[in-house]
Structures are given as C-alpha cells and as structure tokens.
Amino acid sequence: MKERYYRILSLIFALLMVLSCRSDTNPVKKIALFESSGPVMKIGSDSEEMGAGVYDALWTYTVDDRHHVYVADQAHFRVDKFDRDGHYLFSFGGKDHESMKYPGWINTIAVDEQENLLAYCPRERKFLLFSATGQSFKVIDMSDNLKKQQIKKMAFYAGRELLLLGYSGTEGYLLSGYDLETKHYRVFHRDNRRTRPGFTDLLPDFAFDRAGNVYVTDTIAYRVFKYSPAGRSLYTFNKEANRHKIEERDFHVLLRRNKIREIPNYREDWQMLKGASRYFPAIFGIHIDGERVFIWRTDRDKEKKYLVDVYDFGFKYLGTSSYYNSLGHNLAFIKDRLFYMPNIGHEDMEYKSHIGRFSIFNLPHRIDVFQIPGSLFKNSLQGLR
C-alpha cells in the first residue's frame, strides 16, 4: 500500500514538472514599446509618382548621430538622405553617376561621424566611400580576410573602424573589426553552429554601447555575448526559450504585393538542415539605447508580431512588447528613444495566416518612426502596462 502511495506521488510530481517546463517560469510583464498616438514621422511617400522618397521595396537604411536617415533606393541605384524631420536633402549616386560601375553597392551601407557614406560592393569585394555632400567618392580595397566573406551588415564603431557582420562558407558568421585606413582586421565573434539555408540567412545581430562594449546574439539559443572594446569576452547572458521548428508553411512567402508563393525548390535546402539548424534562432535582433537592451525573440503574439524583451545593462528583465520585424534580418533601428521600422505589417489576420516566418506581411515603401515612452528608460517601470 505504501509503495503504491509513493508511486502515485512520484507520478504527480513528474506531471507537475512537465507542466512547469511548458509554462514560462518568468512571468511576462507587458510594456509599451512606443507611444499609442502613432508615428511621429514617416520617411517615404505613399504616392505612386516617381521621385525621391518613392520606393517599391525599402530594405536598406541607416540613421546617423544627428538623426538623418539614409534610405537605399534600389530602383534608381542611389541612397536618399533625409533630415531629422523627414525632409529630403539630396542623394548619393544614381543611374547617371559613376558609382553605377558598382551596381550592388546600395545593399549594405553605414555612415561615419562626419556623415560620409560607406557602401559595400559584393561583386567587386570593395568599399565605396562617399563624401558627406555626396559629390565625390573613392574606391577602397578590402583586405584578403574580408574578401573571403559576404558582408551582411556594418556600422562605424570607433573612428575609422567598422564592425562588420560577414559570412564565410568555411568559418560561418563572423563579427569583425576593420580599420579602413590601416586595414587592421580583428575578429570579435565566430558562429558556425548553424547550417545556412541556401535561400536566405538567419543572421546573428550585434550592437554596441557608449563604452564601446560589443553585444552579439547567438544563431541558435537565447544567448547574448558581450565583448570589451579590446575584444575580450566579458559576459554571456543565457535564458531558457521556446524552440520553433522550421515547418513547411514557413516557406510560403510574399514575393510581390499581395502575391504569396512557395520559395522555389525549398525542399532540397530544407532537407539539408540538420539538428539545431532545423529550428529558427531563439532571438534574432538586439539594440542598445541609453541603458536599455532590446532583444527580438522568435516568439510571436496573437497578431503575429515578434516579441521584444527589454533589459537594463545588467540584463535585469524589465518587460516585453511586440511589433512586426523580419526574422533573421532585423529591420528595426532604435536610437535616442526613437524606434524606426519599415511598414512591413498587415492587419488582416486571415491574410497573415497564409504567410510563413521566412517572410514579412507587406513590401515596405516607407519607414515609420515612433517615440519610445520616457518611462521605459526610468529606473522603475511601475505603472507601464
């Protein structure tokens, strides 16, 4: 009798353990990522007329320290510059410009402290450096280390040094520092645990704080690596997370406006993914603004918006919000309490139910800019809902 009693207790305990593992041990504190009044500014026009600010699909952009916004116009091979109020200033490049010799240069851009524009040329494995006025540019050769990589994202880090996120078939994803003048090259972080799908990237992301510390996300787990300006490992933040397996419906993508199709020949690439690569990354984006860390999760809410966890510098959890983003290629930009995002969302739930995680819900033609509540940056978030 006593043996049966203990057996029943053991079964109850085991059941409770399973249920506790399936629930979130850290209760979610819902917070507002931006003010409910809507965008404070829009970059790009809803007009169908040709001209600056009219975009068929807006994928590449960046923001400088004075909140000028630089938007790549894929159709016209130029980068348009806007002031902090959203007014068009001028363009770098163009169809009649000498930079047309390097047609892929507008896909990856960065801006330095003097507002010079740097662009990466994937075919020639070179950089183009445009003057701040856009009137001149020069071609900069890359070191042999960089020529072996495909540069996916870049940002000026300290002076003339760049942080470059690249991919190499032999080394996987690398986050490296590169000095444009001396060509000094150093590696902060390597990630070769994930098999790259042939049709897309599931990139790690990076950010850096005012002290020059660098933060990099993992391509598998909910994990953030922190490095000193010298490249020394300082800290690794780990958190339990849900795993989302890549499913057949995830290959249904938006190829043209309101036209949903399967990714061509996706089955062959899908079958090549093994182990952890059969799952999406637990996190795919990171931002540092002031003393706050924002981390994009692969988890979504009922409206299919991705969850965003907010932490302080010590990675103390402060709350969770949600918004649209592109999994594996973070399209958001957060700077000085402003949240920038191309208009990739959609309100029709029936329409969204037919589109997988490898896709966005709308081909963006503008950038919406929202104000992040000041209360999010206070020491206490009491009262936020």
pLDDT tens per residue across span 281-320: 999 999 999 999 999 999 999 999 999 999 999 999 999 9
365 is a domain residue: yes
289 is a domain residue: yes
117 is a domain residue: no
Q: Indicate whether 17 pLDDT > 90.
A: no
Q: Indicate whether 23 pLDDT > 60.
A: no
Q: What is the mean pLDDT of the chain?
A: 88
Give the best-scoring range by mean pLDDT among 51-65, 152-166, 256-270: 152-166
Averaged pLDDT for residues 210-223: 96
Do the strands 223-227 and 259-262 form a parallel or antiparallel pair, or are they unpaired?
unpaired
List pLDDT tens digits, range 243-278.
999 999 999 999 877 789 999 889 988 988 999 999
Residue 345's CB: how many other CB atoms inside 10 A? 18
152 is a domain residue: no
Who wins on pLDDT, 94 or 217? Answer: 217
Least confident span in 97-101, 352-356, 365-369? 97-101
pTM: 0.89
19 is a domain residue: no
List pLDDT tens digits, range 65-78.
999 999 999 888 89
5 is a domain residue: no
The number of folded domains in the chain is: 1
374 is a domain residue: yes
Range of the domain at 209: 30-46+193-385
pLDDT reported for residue 232: 96
116 is a domain residue: no
Instruction: Report the percentage of the chain scoring pLDDT > 70.
Output: 89
